[in-house]
Chain A
């Protein structure tokens, strides 16, 4: 199961965040997506101009691949369109059925759906997406990609037992990496 799909606009503002309904603590996925934007930005830098090419951006592949080392508990993939629209997909690392190619296809389909959505003349580009069909599509994508057991993945391997006593802090729960 894809744990989370995030679509961010050119200004890195969230357009649509979908988190698998099994997730206990969705806010940490927000943190994950937000911090992963750094890597997306870094990876989506236009390539330096090479002789013979018109622009470096043309050569850049939209699919950015894995954003974090593969040793993490979740795998975070990135995709950045030429309009700087960013998509981030988080899947369980234990889900070995998902190959790079499938992730790539998934992103492409998402991109197509996004393009269809943006054709709506009433949609204000850069605003949170409210299109029902796009929501449904992303929902189906989250539901479709396999079935996972990991319901509460960890952000970091450091146990955060101290947090329990702080009532207003519902933020990140850092769990142990096994």
Chain B
């Protein structure tokens, strides 16, 4: 049972009289497609038969596809609208063939068709077209207008066309076909392809015209007879009869010649169309009259009654009730079934006869009865019919729908039958149909509303489904969809389509294209209602069906076409690069995968598509999918190479309506994915630095102004890197790659893309990225900038799968937020310096707070000196023309003290040519603090503690420049870190000041503590030595000059001055006895209290004592000796040592007896005459003052005259400067009195 559904069905089909169109093929040439369309268009021109002044309309339906013309199995009631009432056969006679034989063949096939449709067909025509070549008409061809020239072109291509010669008569002599054919044959033999004017003629077997009826055209004889014999004989053509007639017709050659006489040739195209229309009009009128004649006029109201009259077509529905003998008692259900069935049939007749109102009524009754009879298929058909009938009357109730229909009205397609015309055609309209529709028939009681129509159709569909008629169910669903699409209810139409997708049809052959057709139909309908996504989905489904196993190139091409058509609803186009940000990436990926599967034979397109998918949708694809795609891709590329440039669709049997597709070059930005793209700064010591330019004056009137000038505001370009590269020196970029594909990825020729390729020379890297899960894979690409200036970095290029790729940074989404520097400034060439030190490098990591190129370290005893020789090699291409060295340390005071070098020697070495070396000696004195707490007894008695090294750190900064870079104020900075571990040698635990013998000197008394285990000799001024054994201590007095301190200095300043003076002037050294190691002690950090400072500071005033006018008593001499009681002239000369004025200087002079401890000597021992013992004087700058006095010694003894100065709250005493020895006088004069007084 053929269940192929008709995908073009619509609800109108139920109300139309079905006319089947068959092509009879005799020769090899079929109808050319264009020609076929024209012919079909002409044949099916009339769709409607209207009756003047009545609403009655008769619809005609043409069916070309034979698969849709269902022959229901015997015993199955076939709905009226599916019975083939009319049959049109079309034949194309071949030029040059034997006409007679051809005719016989046509007749034979025609007879076969008549037999096939014999049960239902009421009227039939056979129209034969003939291509004829005519030499005789060449002359007329010349007269043709230019439009004809195009036709001639087509003729050359072998396609037949209709010759438009105008002066040919329509009616040809009867014997012309024979001549024509001979002409053709001769013509073809000589000139087959060139200048062949093909005439198409129509040969019509017109049984209806009175002229031809006389000829007794045997083909249609039975039907002609039936028509001619009137109503009584309207019986179905019996098979046997029909066969008999036809076989006789085929056998009888004499009748065949008769048929030939009825051939009418029409050479004019318009005329041809007119002629066909005329023939069809005749045919349709005849057909209608036959149908009308056959239509039952009433329906029996009892189950046991038969149709009134003897309607042969109705008899076939089921065997008539047998009335002979005993009576069959039909069950109630049977009765209802029969009654309902008859009502349904009757209603169907009414419907095709253009009487929908009564049809509704009878359908309603039929549904009622059949429902209770549980007659599934009949019920479904009745429901469907009811809905169809209701739809026919819907415009009457819905004015909008009526308007819509009026707008769609095509008068050209109507046959309007006027009363007079009907009368003139009386011969056909024998049934005496009533042109008037009874008024009672307009009762809308049984007519359904549109919603009800939907329900009934849904019900019909499900009922068909229950009855196992999937094809019918599908058809009803499609009808439903089309109906509501027309009515404008998209949701209901969608539901109908949805229903249609679910219909399951059994018993379809495997190679059937039903499913493809079904999906295509549904897609088409969805598109018509504007559901683009649904349409796309169904197109995809259809495409999937096309590329199953056993697919041919044609079906694959079809699948490709379908997939391409469904791209748009997924926001995909092939012309531009797909982006994952618009649309639905998961679906887009799937659709593209499907598309790629349909164009496997097109290797270039295929591989390009695969690349697009992998590139764009790698996030949404599963690993297995990626694996598949990669496998396919590598297969294709290994066999056919990778596509280069734009690839276009080859003409491999795929022809697209829009001219094919072309896929541009894909730049792979995610294969591999670059996470990070960083231009790397040069190593710290090689980074070029720019000396700030001196400001040329202040731009504003204020020293500080918040107003910034435009040049100040011109901030650096946002995309410029905050570092520089140097021309002709290698630089680096770091790329962090990852591979998201589940396969190893080979990346070749990875290199950097710069704005101007001539200014940058990039290295190329090739690598193999491990498959997925690989973390970020860093790659460093080196390059050399060739010119100073601004270098623009555009992106990177690489090749994978043999394809060159250029990735611009601006196009990469991962860098949108945090873009890498786009430009890097390139400085002019600069020299490069390499530094070697004679010291070994530091063996541990110490953070010095800045980047250094090297380290040097040494261990020194505190106070020890050493020299580090630093070699500066110029390893660059430019000479070093400027060089400066700076020592930087956390403690600059210490650094200054400890480190020194000869910068003048360095300058003399400049310039250092490339390859040359300069040397710098760095003198280091490990002069850390020597002061330390004394070792306690416990500490000294315990095990020897390891000396804790004290570090001395500093960085040597060398900034240098040369060559073109120097001209533009660029320089480089190189740093070397020095680490000196200082271990203790000796320590100063205690110190004090003692006055020396000379008033201008003092003793620095120091307790040295030997912190080593070895013997150390301490050398101290003046040229003395002290040996201290290990861990022992010793006290030394170091003689030193007093320190001239300004009286106005504060204590702190005075202290500093003391320290500095001492560290400079007092040379304390130590040396190991056993080893040749020595050092200088630094005592610049000893603390002094005010008393000490007083003791060691030189008084501001130089005191000289002048005795007897000339003798200057110097210090440390024996002094003067006087006799007791004798007055001695003594001048005290005061000289200002400083360059400042001393005003308000208080001078106190007083005698002190050497043997006594007390300070002051009482007046009865010494008398100082002159009133200068306590004076206040002013001393100018370097001025001097002499105080005159007389000294009288009253008792013998040794007295010292001390001078004490007070100035600004400070006090100096100059002691032991003047020693006066009083000797007793031998004679008993005045001295005796002195002596006596002493005794007293």
Write out the residue numbers on chain A whose beta carbons fall within 8 Å of the beta carbon of B491: 39, 42-43
In angstroms, Cα B632 to Cα A151, docked, is 31
- Interface stretch (choices B362-370, B437-445, B538-546, B936-944): B538-546
In angstroms, Cα B629 to Cα A167, docked, is 9
User: For residue B589, which residue of chain A has the nearest CB?
Assistant: A27
Task: Knowing A38-B531, A162-B544, A171-B594, say if A13 contacts B549 (CB, 8 Å).
Answer: no
A22 interfacial by beta-carbon distance below 8 Å: no
CB distance from A95 to the nearest CB of B (A): 19
B495 interfacial by beta-carbon distance below 8 Å: yes
User: For residue B497, which residue of chain A has the nearest CB?
Assistant: A69
Task: Let me know if B504 and A177 touch, CB within 8 A.
Answer: yes
- Please list 19 pairs of residues, one from A and one from B, whose beta carbons are closer than 8 Å in the complex, sorted by A's number: A13-B582, A14-B584, A14-B586, A27-B587, A30-B584, A31-B537, A35-B534, A38-B530, A42-B490, A158-B515, A162-B545, A162-B549, A163-B544, A165-B548, A166-B547, A167-B628, A168-B632, A169-B593, A177-B504
In angstroms, Cα B342 to Cα A133, docked, is 67
Residue among B544, B545, B596 making CB contact with A171, cutoff 8 Å: B544
Task: Let me know if B541 and A174 touch, CB within 8 A.
Answer: yes
B499 interfacial by beta-carbon distance below 8 Å: yes
Task: Let me know if B502 and A156 touch, CB within 8 A.
Answer: yes
Write out the residue numbers on chain A whose beta carbons fall within 8 Å of the beta carbon of B632: 168
In angstroms, Cα B545 to Cα A172, docked, is 12
Task: Knowing A68-B495, A165-B548, A169-B594, say if A177 contacts B502 (CB, 8 Å).
Answer: yes
Task: Let me know if A34 and B590 touch, CB within 8 A.
Answer: no
Write out the residue numbers on chain B whose beta carbons fall within 8 Å of the beta carbon of A39: 491, 494, 531
Task: Let me know if A170 and B590 touch, CB within 8 A.
Answer: yes
CB distance from A161 to the nearest CB of B (A): 8
B852 interfacial by beta-carbon distance below 8 Å: no
Residue numbers of A with Cβ under 8 A of B are: 11, 13-14, 17, 27, 30-31, 34-35, 37-39, 42-43, 68-69, 71-72, 156-158, 160, 162-163, 165-172, 174, 176-177
Task: Let me know if A168 and B541 touch, CB within 8 A.
Answer: no
B625 interfacial by beta-carbon distance below 8 Å: yes
User: For residue B590, which residue of chain A has the nearest CB?
Assistant: A171
Task: Let me know if B498 and A72 touch, CB within 8 A.
Answer: yes
Task: Let me know if B586 and A27 touch, CB within 8 A.
Answer: yes
User: For residue B493, which residue of chain A has the nearest CB?
Assistant: A42
In angstroms, Cα B470 to Cα A176, docked, is 14
- What size tier do the contact residues of chain B reach? 35 or more
Write out the residue numbers on chain A whose beta carbons fall within 8 Å of the beta carbon of B586: 14, 17, 27, 30
B1061 interfacial by beta-carbon distance below 8 Å: no
In angstroms, Cα B625 to Cα A168, docked, is 7
- Given A14-B586, A34-B533, A38-B533, output 13 extra A-B contacts at Cβ < 8 Å: A13-B582, A31-B590, A34-B537, A38-B526, A38-B530, A39-B491, A72-B502, A157-B502, A158-B501, A165-B549, A172-B540, A172-B544, A174-B541
Residue among B502, B526, B536, B597 making CB contact with A166, cutoff 8 Å: B597
In angstroms, Cα B514 to Cα A18, docked, is 35
B532 interfacial by beta-carbon distance below 8 Å: yes
A-B CB proximity, top 3 nearest: A162-B548, A38-B531, A157-B502
Write out the residue numbers on chain A whose beta carbons fall within 8 Å of the beta carbon of B501: 156-158
B503 interfacial by beta-carbon distance below 8 Å: yes
Write out the residue numbers on chain A whose beta carbons fall within 8 Å of the beta carbon of B593: 168-171
Write out the residue numbers on chain A whose beta carbons fall within 8 Å of the beta carbon of B583: 13
Write out the residue numbers on chain A whose beta carbons fall within 8 Å of the beta carbon of B625: 168, 170
User: For residue A161, which residue of chain B has the nearest CB?
Assistant: B548
CB distance from A61 to the nearest CB of B (A): 14
Write out the residue numbers on chain B whose beta carbons fall within 8 Å of the beta carbon of A171: 540, 544, 590, 593-594
CB distance from A74 to the nearest CB of B (A): 12
Write out the residue numbers on chain A whose beta carbons fall within 8 Å of the beta carbon of B594: 169, 171
Task: Let me know if B504 and A157 touch, CB within 8 A.
Answer: yes
Contact residues of B between 603 and 633, Cβ < 8 Å to A: 622, 624-625, 628-629, 632
Task: Let me know if A34 and B587 touch, CB within 8 A.
Answer: yes
Task: Knowing A68-B498, A157-B503, A168-B596, say if A13 contacts B541 (CB, 8 Å).
Answer: no
Decide if the interface of chain B is mainly helix, strand, loop or mixed.
helix
Write out the residue numbers on chain B whose beta carbons fall within 8 Å of the beta carbon of A168: 593, 596-597, 625, 628-629, 632
CB distance from A46 to the nearest CB of B (A): 15
In angstroms, Cα B586 to Cα A170, docked, is 12
Write out the residue numbers on chain B whose beta carbons fall within 8 Å of the beta carbon of A170: 590, 593, 622, 624-625
Residue among A11, A35, A174 making CB contact with B533, cutoff 8 Å: A35
Write out the residue numbers on chain B whose beta carbons fall within 8 Å of the beta carbon of A160: 544
In angstroms, Cα B977 to Cα A93, docked, is 79
Task: Knowing A157-B504, A163-B544, say if A38 contacts B597 (CB, 8 Å).
Answer: no
Task: Let me know if B541 and A156 touch, CB within 8 A.
Answer: yes
Task: Knowing A157-B501, A162-B545, say if A69 contacts B584 (CB, 8 Å).
Answer: no
User: For residue B593, which residue of chain A has the nearest CB?
Assistant: A168
Residue among B504, B547, B548, B587 making CB contact with A31, cutoff 8 Å: B587
In angstroms, Cα B545 to Cα A42, docked, is 29
Contact residues of B between 535 and 583, Cβ < 8 Å to A: 536-537, 540-541, 544-545, 547-549, 570, 582-583
Write out the residue numbers on chain B whose beta carbons fall within 8 Å of the beta carbon of A71: 499, 502
Write out the residue numbers on chain A whose beta carbons fall within 8 Å of the beta carbon of B547: 166
User: For residue A11, which residue of chain B has the nearest CB?
Assistant: B582
Write out the residue numbers on chain B whose beta carbons fall within 8 Å of the beta carbon of A14: 584, 586
CB distance from B5 to the nearest CB of A (A): 14
Mask: chain B, 507-543; 1 = CB below 8 Å from A; 0 = not: 0000000010000000000100011111011001100
In angstroms, Cα B543 to Cα A160, docked, is 12
Write out the residue numbers on chain B whose beta carbons fall within 8 Å of the beta carbon of A176: 504
In angstroms, Cα B570 to Cα A117, docked, is 27
CB distance from B609 to the nearest CB of A (A): 11
**Highest count of chain A CB atoms <10 Å: which of B491, B584, B597:** B584
In angstroms, Cα B493 to Cα A42, docked, is 12
CB distance from A157 to the nearest CB of B (A): 4
Residue among B503, B544, B584, B622 making CB contact with A169, cutoff 8 Å: B544
Write out the residue numbers on chain A whose beta carbons fall within 8 Å of the beta carbon of B624: 170
**Highest count of chain B CB atoms <10 Å: which of A30, A38, A165:** A38
Task: Let me know if B629 and A172 touch, CB within 8 A.
Answer: no
User: For residue B591, which residue of chain A has the nearest CB?
Assistant: A171
Task: Let me know if B537 and A169 touch, CB within 8 A.
Answer: no
Residue among A34, A69, A169 making CB contact with B499, cutoff 8 Å: A69
In angstroms, Cα B502 to Cα A68, docked, is 12
In angstroms, Cα B532 to Cα A112, docked, is 31
Write out the residue numbers on chain B whose beta carbons fall within 8 Å of the beta carbon of A177: 502, 504
In angstroms, Cα B494 to Cα A68, docked, is 8
Task: Let me know if B499 and A38 touch, CB within 8 A.
Answer: no
CB distance from A122 to the nearest CB of B (A): 14
Write out the residue numbers on chain A whose beta carbons fall within 8 Å of the beta carbon of B526: 38
Residue among B532, B584, B590, B622 making CB contact with A38, cutoff 8 Å: B532
CB distance from A78 to the nearest CB of B (A): 11
In angstroms, Cα B504 to Cα A157, docked, is 7
CB distance from A169 to the nearest CB of B (A): 6
Write out the residue numbers on chain A whose beta carbons fall within 8 Å of the beta carbon of B622: 170
In angstroms, Cα B628 to Cα A72, docked, is 33
In angstroms, Cα B580 to Cα A13, docked, is 11
CB distance from B493 to the nearest CB of A (A): 10
Write out the residue numbers on chain B whose beta carbons fall within 8 Å of the beta carbon of A37: 533
Write out the residue numbers on chain B whose beta carbons fall within 8 Å of the beta carbon of A42: 490-491, 494, 530-531
Task: Let me know if B498 and A69 touch, CB within 8 A.
Answer: yes
In angstroms, Cα B121 to Cα A113, docked, is 68
CB distance from A17 to the nearest CB of B (A): 8
Task: Let me know if A13 and B584 touch, CB within 8 A.
Answer: yes
CB distance from B237 to the nearest CB of A (A): 41
CB distance from B73 to the nearest CB of A (A): 25
User: For residue A127, which residue of chain B has the nearest CB?
Assistant: B581
In angstroms, Cα B250 to Cα A88, docked, is 68
Write out the residue numbers on chain B whose beta carbons fall within 8 Å of the beta carbon of A43: 491
User: For residue A156, which residue of chain B has the nearest CB?
Assistant: B501
CB distance from B458 to the nearest CB of A (A): 8
User: For residue B537, which residue of chain A has the nearest CB?
Assistant: A35
Write out the residue numbers on chain B whose beta carbons fall within 8 Å of the beta carbon of A35: 531, 533-534, 536-537
Task: Knowing A68-B498, A169-B594, say if A34 contacts B628 (CB, 8 Å).
Answer: no
